Structure 1
Amino acid sequence: MSHVALNLVVLHSNDLERAQRFYECLGLQFTRHRHGSGPEHLSAELGDCVFELYPLSPNSASTLGTRIGFSVPSLEPVITTLSADPSTIISPPQDSPWGRRAVVSDPDGHRIELVQA
């Protein structure tokens, strides 16, 4: 049986800079990229996976229904930083079978599950 691993996640955003600031609160570090004549976008390497933010254009499909999760070293400081905008916190930190977790909303409305590593 072959090994299957996730290597790319792409979300579309109405405002790349605003989305970048949000995801940087989680600890991601972005670089700007452009492939050929495609749009400029942001890319962050997370181990073997690349997380990219592309601008939402009239021709691109919405990724709003996509839910993703990140493991963060410490959940409380992230939640404290994100709490500046109370509408960001969907489900506050609580213990679960998967560890301490919370659900937040990024600036575009994507739901993001955070689990303390």
Structure 2
Amino acid sequence: MDIDLLVIYSDELDACRAFYAGLGLTFAKERHGAGPEHYAAELDGTIFELYPSSARRPATGSLRLGLTLPAGAGATPGRHTLTDPDGRTVVLTVQEQT
């Protein structure tokens, strides 16, 4: 079994997009039918979406997300614990150069 979709609802949509884009994700703005505009990126076959929160879909609360970047991605190798603009924990692992 593989995870193929991850959706995060955010009170700080544009700030979250900028945060995750700064980690190397490339987002496209999307809208499905009458739904809200949101951002989507693909991570090795998994779709990662950022949606605006609403009364119907409140912000995704506590979440710990792990992401791995390849060596040479412009970040210091090792494990880094970050916090996104909505306060969620992001554990970023940057691989060592080989």
Give the shorter-chain TM-score range. 0.7 to 0.9
Hey, what does 2:19 align to over in structure 1?
22
State the TM-score, normalized to the length of structure 2: 0.86
Report deviation, 1:10: 0.7
Does 2:73 align with 1:116? no
Alignment check: 8 A CA contact 2:75 2:94 kept: no
**Cα distance per residue 1:29-71 (max 9 Å; x no partner):** 0001111111110000111100000001111133121211110
Number of equivalences: 95
Distance 2:55 2:63 in 1: 18
| Structure 1, gaps ≥5 residues long | 80-98
> 1:1-117 to 2 correspondence within 5 Å?
4-74=1-71, 77-78=74-75, 100-117=78-95
Q: Aligned residues: percent identity?
A: 38
Range with greater deviation from structure 2 (29-38 or 10-19) = 10-19
The Cα RMSD (Å) is 2.0
More helix by share: 1
**Cα distance per residue 1:58-85 (max 9 Å; x no partner):** 1113312121111012499447xxxxxx
**Cα distance per residue 1:59-116 (max 9 Å; x no partner):** 113312121111012499447xxxxxxxxxxxxxxxxxxx821110000111101011
Regions of 4+ moved over 3 Å: 74-79
State the TM-score, normalized to the length of structure 1: 0.73
The structure whose Rg is larger is 1
